[in-house]
Amino acid sequence: MNVVREIAFVPARKTLVLLVFSAIVLSSACRKPSQPRSQVTIQLEGQPHAFHVGPETVSLKLTDPLGKPIPGAQVSLEGNMSHAGMAPVFSNATEVAAGSYRGVVEFSMAGDWVMTVHVRLADGQQFERQFEFKGVRSD
């Protein structure tokens, strides 16, 4: 009786190991390939200040790994309140100098906002970065 159990158990163990291995391989194959760390720096220009409800200018600078400005990019801004239920605001930024971009965002409500900057370089590469705008004021 023991022999029969061992013979029946060995194929079941092999099947289990094969299933676990297959699940691991398939789950890693379904994931998006990890992107290399961005070689583009996206930074806010100027001193951070308290934004107010209404139109506000957001200035950004794009640089390469050597700190050189990156001209010719398409830059768009997406502002979302940090709590659910509010419609996002969108704006396109225009290049005002080599690697410097400016867009006007219409903050519709006081509170904390998260600004996602979407960048598409001339060669088609895409990057994004999020900035927190805490305490947008109504006054």
Identify the pLDDT of residue 34.
40
Environment class of residue 27 by beta-carbon count within 10 Å: exposed (0-12), middle (13-18) or buried (19+)? exposed
CATH architecture under which domain 41-136 falls: Sandwich (2.60)
pLDDT tens-place values along the chain, 139 residues long? 545 455 455 566 666 565 565 666 556 555 444 444 458 899 988 666 778 999 999 999 999 999 999 999 999 999 999 887 889 999 999 999 999 999 999 999 999 999 999 999 999 999 999 999 888 899 7
Domain ranges of the chain: 1-34, 41-136
Identify the pLDDT of residue 36.
46
pTM for the complete prediction?
0.69
> Which residue is listed with tokens 């709590």?
83
β-pair type (111-120, 41-44): unpaired
Identify the pLDDT of residue 19.
57
Q: Where are the alpha helices (DSSP H) in the chain?
A: 2-30
